[in-house]
Amino acid sequence: MKNTKQLINNIVGQLEGVKRMLDEKKECLDVLIQLKAAKSGINSVINKIIEEKTLECLSGDSKVDKEKIQRLLKEIVNNN
């Protein structure tokens, strides 16, 4: 499984490819397919970070901060 940095590098490559496609006036459908692939990659990164970092984000102190939990959960819900 790829690490987060590798996933981000893939997304950057896809977006650079989209820029080239636009400059070269490629077919709209081909551009949209690449944009959807980048979007899917971003969702994968979000999910990976949620899986790997949620406990870390919530356990900074021995005392759990309810506001911090609410902000994190709001971001998770709004991004999916």
Top-confidence residue, 20 or 72: 20
Round the CA-based radius of gyration of the chain to a whole number and report it: 17
Segment 52-78 mean pLDDT: 71
Structure tokens at 6: 């590798």
pTM of the model: 0.70
Position 28 scores a pLDDT of: 95
4-79: which CATH architecture?
Answer: Up-down Bundle (1.20)
* Domain ranges for the chain: 4-79
Distance, in Å, from the CA atom of 74 to the CA atom of 7, rounded to the nearest integer, reads: 24
DSSP per position, 32-79: HHHHHHHHHHHHHHHHHHHHHHHHHHHTSSSS--HHHHHHHHHHHHHH
